[in-house]
Structure 1
């Protein structure tokens, strides 16, 4: 049976949420929270989905009229859990590259209160070539600024028509960074001071942290799942039971988004940094580190990787010896969190493909691992080899055009072009310093290029497994220089 609003029972609700992104994570976490608020609370609001890129899932969402099943699987209170939920809160869909006027109209919704987004770490970016008159702007912040200006004008600067803007991208101070981009567009486009004042006084930008492992579409078991649910659902998404959402926003946001009444693990706080440090650098850092190494070694899933004898030891040493010392948290807290993370990675229900984590991997490395590399070097004046080897593996993986590479086309082509140098040392130095590949100056760490060159040579000559075997047998605190 086809899944749509004619074949199942749903409820009509006003649009209260504008969501930038239609991918697995938002649908398995943020939209699930909104669904729960509708089902068990008094939120009574639906979501309008904006596709952030020219190509995306809006056609499929329209085909299923926003309906999809979420499969939550894992261990809860000591028992294995596997639940199906039909999520029905997505009700309007827009591709701004095809229907920009319709996109702007979404910003005029009378009861609109929230903006959520997940455009990956590369999404919250100021692109100075974006113009006010573009249909549509390239960057997410530019599109959002244009929509907010349209709302501001329509409601004549009414301070009661501002929004709670809650980005979920895994960058530090994501709300602050998004607001900064908005301010940059106000200046670039020479918009009036009253609009900037409305942005400041009527709107609330929240820094956030989100945590739920979401493997995404269950391609290996979709036939069995569709038979079980009784629908031909092409938008099924899998996630773990565990969830955590930390929002800096205080009582004002909490009053409009009453998740605590439902027992959801949503924390409103004045400082999300301690939660962010351990999650981004340990959980996401381990994910980002295992992807290129696992793929180059022929592994497919997170569970397969963390249960591999060599990878298990490598990742354990990487986290305990090279990540934990860089974090400003108690040792016991870090040990407990790390142990819990690796248990989550071994979830028997979750088939989390390494390839599904590979999206925009170079930006993820800069956000999740590079800060630890820099702090480690500042503390010990030597490089953490286990944190650097994923960088070396990513460069090799991109250079070889591995099928799992899923990144900005211009960035990939630039790296591959630089790789064509006859001299590996020259190629690596140019790749690390090219602002089209990595953020300008981000890789300016003493001896980093030399270590990357040596590691790439080892990866090519010895293979991933043999190289990691050697790495876990030596002192985890690595080398101060490479000759």
Structure 2
């Protein structure tokens, strides 16, 4: 079976949108599954819907990477967007042609090619997703390195070369999953300007002529298809082999923080994508929406659902009690206190149900349970406290979620091992709670406490919550009642009591 390239694609009879030749307008640091299923997908749509006529040059952020494979396929790859949308199963295929090539800057020729792109008149945008560890300042980097080891170091080299070539400033779109990603990246570049003694003209160029934007990315990307049988079936169906085939969920939103004038510069609004890719002066409300609704839903129902006998997220969406509990928590307790358009938040919450019901992804509850102490504090506690402050009463489901958290960490504790705290659920199987060591040691020390003693110890542990939660009126009493209910009647019955 021939491997995908333009000639092979033409022979395969593919009749979707393809753009073979166009100016290279984007330099993208990162060539992994996420960026190819997300950023390069949006640029591909911009080519089709807005006649943007642009290509993305990818750069390997680390030495081992996909450059050779991407170049052998002339930048082409197959993308499947799979999931559930408005309750309907979706399995859409698209061949992405927005990528021209991939460079390996750890080879001398690849570094030279990266600098040639940097000095190009066509270049308009730089994109990055170099993992959470990517935006770090490493003082060991030098201007003359080929290349600098850190991503901000490489970016400073690229921008300095562009500045020396007398080319206009670029738009920088940082996609790393850290707070203030654009501002942190700019801060690192300024540190290299100081360390390397670069001139004030360049400092002005970086801080005034270039536009550094933070962004919030939201799409689950499982990546490759791992079942060899399905891979073989798709190759027969496509008429080509594609080792770069990528898989993402249908849902996707890219919120870019910056001056809204950028909506006229970037191609997404013209392509009719403004509900999914847009620029806003402040993305913090959208981040809050994602953390409180999507991530908060996970942490809010998963721990009790696991104790009730469920193992994957999708199955929870098919149970009337768990689904009803999650929806009541989101629609009655979380959405009403968010500082965004309520209809938009309700649509986002409805999309969460679709995303959790993805028929193609077996998302295990135990994988979501990792570090649930810090997760409940970051994702659920702000909604809980704001609801209490606004309404003067406890939110029923969020209050229950706290009891379910304690139950998960204390359910028939067996032992504390190097891997975590071993507990047992009603099904009879053991499970291992993973969290910071001091958290696990705390629960192990309190494993023989009665319910009121345990609840009081947890709620007064300010290292966990940053405050004494017993000071929230009625919260301790309600948690004792809820935890007793979970232990005596099971988590599913406890969730049902909230409805």
**TM-score, length-scaled by structure 2:** 0.68
Q: CA deviation at 1:230?
A: 1.5
- Which residue matches 1:430? none
Q: 1:187 to 1:253 in 2, by over 3 A?
A: same
Q: CA deviation at 1:49?
A: 1.2
1:5 aligns with 2:6: yes
C-alpha separation in 2, matches of 1:143 and 1:391? 46
- Which residue matches 2:206? 199
C-alpha separation in 1, matches of 2:421 and 2:72? 33
Structure 2 matches for 1:219-368, cutoff 5 A?
A: 219-220=226-227, 221-250=230-259, 252-264=261-273, 265=275, 266-286=277-297, 302-307=313-318, 312=323, 315-316=326-327, 319=330, 323-324=334-335, 327-329=338-340, 334-347=345-358, 350-354=359-363
Q: CA deviation at 1:393?
A: 8.0
1:117·1:166 contact (CA, 8 Å) conserved in 2?
Answer: yes
Task: Give 1:132's match in structure 2, choosing from 142, 147, 151.
Answer: 142
1:141 aligns with 2:152: yes
C-alpha separation in 2, matches of 1:397 and 1:223? 42
Q: CA deviation at 1:198?
A: 0.6
Task: Give 1:445's match in structure 2, choosing from 455, 466, 469.
Answer: 466
1:15 aligns with 2:24: yes
1:67·1:90 contact (CA, 8 Å) conserved in 2?
Answer: yes
Q: 1:374 to 1:241 in 2, by over 3 A?
A: closer
Task: Give 2:225's match in structure 1, choosing from 218, 221, 240.
Answer: 218
- Which residue matches 1:373? 381
> Tell me, which stretches of 5 or more residues in structure 2 are unaligned?
11-18, 410-415, 423-434, 447-461, 470-485
Deviations 1:329-348 (A, max 9, x none): 4666544532331123224x
1:45 aligns with 2:54: yes
1:164·1:206 contact (CA, 8 Å) conserved in 2?
Answer: yes
Q: CA deviation at 1:163?
A: 0.8
- Which residue matches 1:150? 161
C-alpha separation in 2, matches of 1:14 and 1:391? 56
Q: 1:203 to 1:131 in 2, by over 3 A?
A: same
Structure 2 matches for 1:363-442, cutoff 5 A?
A: 370=378, 372-373=380-381, 376=384, 386=401, 399-400=419-420
CA RMSD of aligned residues (A): 4.8
Describe the SS at the equivalent of 1:370: helix
Q: CA deviation at 1:66?
A: 2.1
C-alpha separation in 2, matches of 1:40 and 1:283? 29
C-alpha separation in 2, matches of 1:329 and 1:11? 41
- Which residue matches 1:436? none
2:134·2:150 contact (CA, 8 Å) conserved in 1?
Answer: yes
Describe the SS at the equivalent of 1:262: coil
1:180 aligns with 2:187: yes
Q: 1:219 to 1:230 in 2, by over 3 A?
A: same
Describe the SS at the equivalent of 1:8: helix
Q: CA deviation at 1:131?
A: 1.8
Deviations 1:55-75 (A, max 9, x none): 443343234332111223456
Larger gyration radius, structure 1 or structure 2: 2
1:291·1:354 contact (CA, 8 Å) conserved in 2?
Answer: no
Task: Give 1:114's match in structure 2, choosing from 122, 125, 128.
Answer: 125
Q: CA deviation at 1:164?
A: 0.7
C-alpha separation in 2, matches of 1:201 and 1:25? 30
Q: CA deviation at 1:202?
A: 1.4
Task: Give 2:94's match in structure 1, choosing from 85, 88, 103.
Answer: 85
Deviations 1:240-281 (A, max 9, x none): 444333333446433332323332233333333333321243
Q: CA deviation at 1:317?
A: 6.3
- Mean CA deviation greater in 294-303 or 328-337: 294-303
Describe the SS at the equivalent of 1:354: coil
> Tell me, which stretches of 5 or more residues in structure 1 are unaligned?
403-414, 427-440, 449-462, 477-483
2:160·2:202 contact (CA, 8 Å) conserved in 1?
Answer: yes
- Which residue matches 1:208? 215
- Which residue matches 2:111? 101
Describe the SS at the equivalent of 2:71: helix
C-alpha separation in 2, matches of 1:144 and 1:365? 36
Q: 1:336 to 1:32 in 2, by over 3 A?
A: closer
1:18·1:114 contact (CA, 8 Å) conserved in 2?
Answer: yes
- Mean CA deviation greater in 368-377 or 193-202: 368-377
Describe the SS at the equivalent of 2:122: coil
C-alpha separation in 1, matches of 2:356 and 2:72? 33
Q: 1:185 to 1:17 in 2, by over 3 A?
A: same
Describe the SS at the equivalent of 1:261: coil
C-alpha separation in 2, matches of 1:324 and 1:467? 28
1:399·1:419 contact (CA, 8 Å) conserved in 2?
Answer: no
Describe the SS at the equivalent of 2:35: helix
Q: CA deviation at 1:473?
A: 6.6
1:20·1:50 contact (CA, 8 Å) conserved in 2?
Answer: yes
Q: CA deviation at 1:229?
A: 1.5
